[in-house]
Amino acid sequence: MPFTPAPIQFGTDGWRGVIAADFTFARVCHLAPIAAQVLSESYSHLAENRLVIVGYDRRFLAEQFAQAAAEAVQAAGFDVYLANTYAPTPALSWAVKANSALGALVLTASHNPAEYLGLKVKGAFGGSVTRELTAKIESRLLSSETPSTETQGELERFNPWDSYAQVLASKVDLDRIQDAIKQGKLGIFADVMHGAAAGGLSRFLGEGVIEINGDRDPLFGGNPPEPLPAYIPDLFRAINQAKQRNQYPLRVGLVFDGDSDRVAAVDGEGNFLSSQVLIPILIQHLVQHHGFSGEVVKTVSGSDLIPLIAQQYQQPLYETPIGYKYIAERMLETPVLVGGEESGGIGYGTHIPERDALLSALYAIEAVVVAEKDLGRLYQDLQAQVRFSSAYDRIDLPLANEEAKQRVQTMLDADPPNQIAERTVTSCQTVDGYKFRLEDNSWLLVRFSGTEPLLRLYCEATDQPSVRTILNWAKQWASSL
């Protein structure tokens, strides 16, 4: 049978496909000018030109795909700034804002496995475009030819790091952090997972940063470049060795995904800290140290601690479906302090409506230096303040095929469980997936990935054994259908 590639469909943030199977040069060259045309129709009132930013991460053939996309957009009559090196996705979103461009096309598959590449579309406001806009792109891919014009645009190379690094440096007290490093008080360990954050923290903090997995490896060491505990043994090892040697009174570990828009941390004791932990710490730091205020925006998978900390620091709360585009939309509507999702994406109302791992890392480091406390201790203090403690985890269950997905979907629609792991279900929220609130105030969220053939299972409960029990129940339940 002849091979038929999967249709070009945008998930929660971009289109992704297997290189040479679904993700090909021909398809990218067809898609890129259509995306540029839709950006022009949607955002010409915000832009000062017909400029489109094109950039890329460190994946296999990423720069070649970016070159092809840029030339296709240029041929359609648009001016193009093409990155001359890899860069974080938020650096390219910032470039849109800094240059008053129509938007950006970013060649990246973010945290997906090594065989994937993808394309993210960013709007003139400097963040992810809406589902309505990507639906328009998908529709035109089916119904129209590639836009063409007799007058080509101009194509120029630019370094996306320059302006981006300058704006990030203006947001934190770098002198104070650098003093702590020089005095031997602070050790910073950055696992960049072979991705686009490589060299990032060193631009601000010099040789005080101990970078891990900074070389380019298109296979990402055999694991997806996702900031999860299973994929960062080198960071755990480095932190624990420093602990054993009693190096640095304060130790901070940071981990960045493949395109540096997601972040996680490891504290000085070697404990993994997801964004569920970092967001409450950042709320406190931004309010107390920077004097910022605004809405705290969380997704339905966010920790129950987040609304408690928002209330503690007298900031309003707003909840969205999963996907940073929803947080970005809220940022465009109202003043936001911080917006974040459990998968590591955190952004700030004083920046661009985009998750930014490097800025989050700088704020986290600054919080440690200002408080002179370990990240883990900062989190424990916050829990004590609001008298709330919990554990959290997520597992991704691969689905065999579309039929398996449909069986799970049918059961959730027609006969959702009323008991989970011997706990009675007290309510079910369906804003995004199915969030079952249980009698002991724990919760389980079941939803399908927007970018991969996975069933995502999220749980927060009073302790880690309870989390494992509930997730194991959910995994067995889904696998038995």
| Residue in 243, 252, 263, 193 with CA at minimum distance from that of residue 223 | 193
| Residue in 431, 479, 438, 422 with CA at minimum distance from that of residue 455 | 479
**How many other β-carbons are positioned within 10 Å of the β-carbon of residue 410?**
11
- Pick out the chain residues at pLDDT < 50: none
Alpha helices in 316-399 (DSSP H): 324-331, 357-371, 375-386
**How many other β-carbons are positioned within 10 Å of the β-carbon of residue 7?**
11
CATH superfamily for domain 391-479: Alpha-D-phosphohexomutase, C-terminal domain (3.30.310.50)
Q: Which amino acid is at 184?
A: G
| DSSP code of residue 290 | T
Q: What is the DSSP string of 222-266?
A: GS-S---GGG-HHHHHHHHHHHHTT--SEEEEEEE-TTSS-EEEE
Q: Could you give the residue range(s) of every CATH 3.40.120.10 domain in the chain?
A: 15-160, 171-386
End-to-end CA distance of the chain: 30
| pLDDT score of 451 | 63
**What is the distance between the alpha carbons of residues 117 and 89, in angstroms, rounded to a whole number?**
14
Alpha helices in 144-232 (DSSP H): 161-169, 174-182, 200-205
CATH class of the structural domain 171-386: alpha beta
Q: What is the pTM of this model?
A: 0.94
Q: Which two tokens stand for residue 82?
A: 């093409």
Which single residue is written with the structure tokens 């406390």? 373
Residue burial 145-184, b: 16+ Cβ < 10 Å; e: rest: ebbeeeebbebeebebbebbbeebeebbebeebbebbeee
CATH superfamily for domain 15-160: Alpha-D-Glucose-1,6-Bisphosphate, subunit A, domain 3 (3.40.120.10)
3-state helix, strand and coil shares in percent for the chain, rounded to the nearest 5: 40, 25, 40
Max distance between CA atoms of the chain, in angstroms, equals 68
Q: Could you give the residue range(s) of every CATH 3.30.310.50 domain in the chain?
A: 391-479
